[in-house]
Amino acid sequence: MAATRRPGRNHLFVPGPTNIPDRVMRAMMVQSEDHRSVDFPSLTKPLFEDTKKVFGSTEGTIFLFPASGTGIWESALTNTLARGDKVLTARYGQFSHLWIDMAQRLGLDVIVQEEEWGTGAKPEKIEEALRADKDHQIKAVMVVHNETATGVTSNIGAVRKAIDAAGHPALLFVDGVSSIGSLPFYADEWKVDCAIAGSQKGLMLPAGLGVICVSQKALKAAEGQSGRNDRLARVYFDWEDHKKQNPGGYFPYTPPLPLLYGLREALACLFEEGLENVYHRHAVLGEATRQAVAAWGLKTCAKSSEWNSDTVTAILAPEGVDAAKIIKHAYVRYNLALGAGLSQVAGKVFRIGHVGDLNELSLLGAIAGAEMSLIDNGVKVTPGSGVAAASSYLRENPLNKG
């Protein structure tokens, strides 16, 4: 039997990939062209400079890879570290877990600080570990800024202060895949050595373009790996190849042309709105979502307000209710895509992503759909309560700071 057509659009509220603005989609509808032509640098050279602004950097170097954020994790590790090097990190969600797994599989010695899911990186524990490392064997600290599995944001500024307080020279690597372009991020101020982003979240593009902003300190660390027998293998993600080609506006291999045109337009969208307004808008939408959750009588996965993420809210299903059924019903009945629980929280949470190109009415549609799915699955929620709470908050808190 042929599938029944569902009228209207799918309401995409996973925490990435996110909705793509119409003007960005139009910008990506381009004919193929010669990426070695004399005209090509007019597209690419400004991208290397303009993209830095989203990272909060003027001093960093941007590398663009045809990859997801996972590839950029690998790029950061393999360019700067050698086999057996110690790295310090915390595990508090699925994506911090996956980055740890990658580092171990690459041959790094990973010191893991286990944190309760629903919390994040603890700067005081990081400082303690670095102070104890008298010989400076720890070469890098890895932190996931925004853990989408649990709806938790860690304080990167505090992590930097902890590293400095310990007087430790370790590099700082930050996964900003679900934060950069949506949450305040200040790579230069926080002295982030490798800041990692993917195109499919705050940058409002399809998946497939990985972005990294690299500090001068990290570039020097990469140069120091040259010629070492124990250096980590890298080919596709080697910065050196990009350093030779990028200044002229070219790439060491065929770039994803439509995504580059899309990136140019997406950056224009962000700059026209103003980055501070972008950050404010996400903060307002995040709080409106939490207001709805409270009105439903439910709790978030984040253990306290200090951990709240403004790009995704992970909501605990009531005891005895399978969150996966809430998610499936929302999709099948209401054409609403909610985020699933991952790993330790699978079946326990459903997630509402409020990241990227959306406004008050977009969010209220997602809250209404989630609310209906909760009721349909036997959760005792007063119809309209979440929508009312969120809309009341949104009416009092404009998205644009003016």
Q: From CA 30, how far away is CA 350, in angstroms rounded?
A: 37
Q: What is the CATH number of the domain that holds 341?
A: 3.90.1150.10
Q: Are residues 259 and 166 in the same domain?
A: yes
C-alpha to C-alpha distance for 112 and 210, rounded to whole angstroms: 26
Residues 339, 279: Cα–Cα separation, whole Å: 22
- Residue 48 lies inside a defined structural domain of this protein: yes
Query: Are 336 and 363 within 8 A, CB to CB?
Result: no
Residues 120 and 142: their CA atoms lie apart, in Å, by 12
Q: Give domain status of residue 356, yes or no.
A: yes
The parts of the chain modelled with pLDDT lower than 50 are 1
Q: Please check whether residue 289 lies inside any domain of the structure.
A: yes
What is the Cα–Cα distance from 47 to 43, expressed in whole angstroms? 7
Say if residue 258 is in the same domain as residue 280. Answer: no
358 and 245 in one domain? Answer: no
Dist. CA 401–CA 273, nearest whole Å: 10
Residues 196 and 178: their CA atoms lie apart, in Å, by 10
Task: Give the integer Cα–Cα distance in Å for 364 and 376.
Answer: 18
Peptide bond into 15 cis (omega under 30): no
130 and 233 co-located in one domain: yes
Residues 211 and 126 in one domain: yes
- Signed CA dihedral, 291, 297, 299, 300: sign only: negative
Residue at 198 is within a domain: yes
Give the whole-angstrom CA distance, residue 340 versus residue 350: 5
Give dist(CA 88, CA 162) in Å, integer.
13
At which of 237, 270, 303 does a domain end? 270
Q: What pLDDT was estimated at residue 188?
A: 98
Extract the tokens encoding 259: 């995504």
CATH number of the domain that residue 198 is part of:
3.40.640.10
Say if residue 229 is exposed, middle or buried (CB neighbours under 10 Å; 0-12, 13-18, 19+).
Answer: exposed
Same domain, 265 and 299: no
Same domain membership, residue 324 and residue 244? no
Degrees to nearest 5, angle at CA 14 with 12 and 16:
100
Residue 11 lies in a domain: no
Which pLDDT score, from 0 to 100, does residue 1 have? 47
Residue 163 domain-assigned (yes or no): yes
Q: Which of 206, 241, 270 is the last residue of a domain?
A: 270
Write down the pLDDT at residue 3. 60
pTM: 0.96
Residues 164 and 285 in one domain: no
Are 54 and 203 in a shared domain? yes
Nearest partner of 90 among 78, 77, 103, judged by Cα: 103
Residue 6: per-residue pLDDT: 80
Residue that terminates a domain, selected from 221, 245, 270: 270
- Which of 251, 156, 245, 172 lies closest to 215, judged by CA? 172
Residue 98 sits in the same domain as residue 175:
yes
Is residue 351 marked as binding?
yes
Number of structural domains found in the chain? 2
Q: What is the dihedral of CA 388, 391, 393, 399, to 10 degrees?
A: 170
- What is the model's pLDDT at position 2? 54
Asked if residue 1 belongs to a domain, the reply is no
Nearest to 85 by CA among 148, 41, 125, 139: 139
Q: Show the domain range for 312.
A: 274-396
Asked if 320 and 250 sit in the same domain, the reply is no
Q: What's residue 94's pLDDT?
A: 96
Three-class SS of residue 55?
coil
**305-322 per-position pLDDT tens digit:** 999 999 999 999 999 999
pLDDT value at residue 4: 73
By C-alpha distance, which of 341, 398, 392 is closest to 367? 392
Q: How far is CA 183 from CA 49, 54, 200, in A?
A: 20, 10, 15
* 291 and 200 housed in the same domain: no
Q: Does a structural domain hold residue 402?
A: no
- Residues belonging to the chain: 402
Plot region of 295 (φ>0 → left; ψ -120 to 50 → alpha; else → beta): alpha
